[in-house]
Amino acid sequence: MNIVGKTALALGMSEARLLSFISTCPRRYKRYNIPKRNGDGQRLICQPSKELKFLQGMVLEKFLLDLPLHRAATAYREGMGIKENASRHKDSRYFLKMDFRNFFPSIKPEILTAHIEKFRQVKISESDAFSLARIFFYFDKVDGLSLSIGAPSSPFLSNTVMYYFDCKVSDACEDAGITYTRYADDLCFSSERKNALWSMPKFVQGALLECDLDHVSVNPDKTIFVSHKENIHLTGLVITPEGKLSIGRSNKRKTKSLIYSYLNGSLSAENLAWLRGYLSFCMDVEPGFLDSLKSKYGEGPLGLIMSVNR
């Protein structure tokens, strides 16, 4: 690939100067914590500096965008998302949900290098391996070089390094009549057959080892078998027992509360912007909920809802 030489030429700078910058990249991150979605602790966000972000985007586009993505991977992709992920399972009766522990940080430079070598059938030079490791991975005192949550390049890289794992799991599921999707670190399996899913946790563990994903591990506390006798919560959406997608009761209550605040003139501009976007999302996922809002609040006073519908 000759990452340093070709990138330096494109940037109009010397290879020595670029290599000097690359050597410092793993420490060019702003770090902060945010609460995890489930409320269980904090998640470390490592955001690259403006200069590093530019370099990551350039190297990704120039050298890596031909790497494969599997159809089962539904996160961070144009035309896909949580609706597509949930839709593939809505007609099933039995479900298995699994979760990877510390997914992004568990992806190491050697995993990316091995993936490129396998896909392209080439041997990566030491120079290119060094550059990839420093450009795309931040340095952690405990875990060493790891893929960061916060870099715009990380979603694509996390998807492509799981390609052969997704292939292996998807092929096995297809033979067994099981639907499989992976939304980042959330794995979902569903089937019409009651006992079809019991063997999948062990299979997933074996597939990780066979695909040389040694640092990626399953969180056993989040391995859950459920049936469609109840609502299925899947990547932020709900699949009802009738096989319909819903945003869920708690999100409906939150939305109604924000609309009430808006009508009373107490909603901040930031929350109003979020509400407009979320109502547009609701219109796509559960249009019946938007119809119920119109019936309750009326279209006239709600320029908010009317603007979403236009």
Average pLDDT along the chain: 91
Q: What is the pLDDT of residue 306?
A: 44
Calculate mean pLDDT across residues 33-40. Answer: 73
Name the nearest CA neighbour of 292 among 284, 283, 301, 300. Answer: 283
Pair of tokens at residue 151 = 């870099």
Higher local confidence (pLDDT), 15 or 235: 15
**Number of neighbouring beta carbons within 10 Å of residue 74:** 25
pLDDT tens string 69-98: 999 999 999 889 999 999 999 999 999 999
Proportion of the chain in helix, strand, coil states, percent, rounded to 5: 50, 20, 30
310 pLDDT above the threshold of 50: no
